[in-house]
Structure 1
């Protein structure tokens, strides 16, 4: 508690001293009551604080996410599972736009997906490599199906009825990456 008060106070005093020095010209460091060897030490953890499975689960639950955990038989590690929502972007029957309009919508579609990722609502998006009815997926990292549906339906390609949305709850281990 004391560090929280002293450190900002020292910063204010030092800033004030610097301003006084420039206003008063050649005032020496000793006249301001400071020594050239005075330093401020700020403690910064070298490694980010790692949260426990219990802490992560409590934070997710408080935000409305569904979770469960289990113990891995081989490693005896506790694995935290979180519910995500997988949105399938499906080809629609409507293709009335010309090439210019299609390019404009595609640009807006990609901007929308980037925004969803930047805001933390989507963890991964991408198209499929074939020309099937399912054109791509987006995995939404939000607490409810209603929220995932709303975000998916705000995609300009969906609003223009070029793509249709089908969403399913999907469970994945928290913190694991694709390989």
Structure 2
């Protein structure tokens, strides 16, 4: 009986120790470098890319404009202004892809959108909205470079 009580007490004390919150691994310098708030979050602008109104562009013109679109994505990513970009799979809503801009205002994002030749030619249309998410999202491209065997 005494051993059973000791085991029960040990288990109870151990489980209390494990159930308490562990110390956070807060890195103040990293948080500041990513402009994170106290929750580790920050403002971005989310961009939904939809099919545009230009349906008369030739195949050659469309190919050239989308080459410029891809080059622009690379340029904005290198500048740190674009943290996520990617196409949607085939769908019935005319959704083509997304951008997540590393800017705080719609006006800043609009200025970046105007650098995209496919949007300027109305092959794509951009819908912008403010978005609040983890500041760590900015680190995605660094990780991606380590896991991609080929470049797009």
TM range (shorter): 0.5 to 0.7
2:55 matched residue in structure 1: 95
| Match of residue 134 from structure 2 | 173
Q: Distance in 1 between the 2:31 and 2:90 partners?
A: 42
Q: Name the CA distance, whole Å, in 1 between partners of 2:99 and 2:106.
A: 13
RMSD: 2.4
The answer as to whether partners of 1:86 and 1:140 remain within 8 angstroms in 2 is yes
Structure 1: gaps spanning 5 or more residues: 1-49, 61-66, 70-78
Tell me what 1:157 maps to: 118
Q: 2:64 aligns with which of 104, 117, 133?
A: 104
State how far apart, in whole Å, the 2-side matches of 1:157 and 1:120 are.
Answer: 21
Corresponding position of 2:146 = none
**Are the equivalent residues in 2 in contact too, given 1:125–1:136 (CA < 8 A)?**
yes
Aligned to 2:28: 52
Are 1:114 and 2:74 matched, yes or no?
yes
How many residues are paired up? 113
Greater than 4 Å deviation, 4+ residue runs? none
Pair member with larger Rg: 1
TM-score, length of structure 2 as denominator length: 0.66
Partners of 2:134 and 2:122 lie apart in 1 by 33
CA distance in 2, matches of 1:109, 1:169: 22
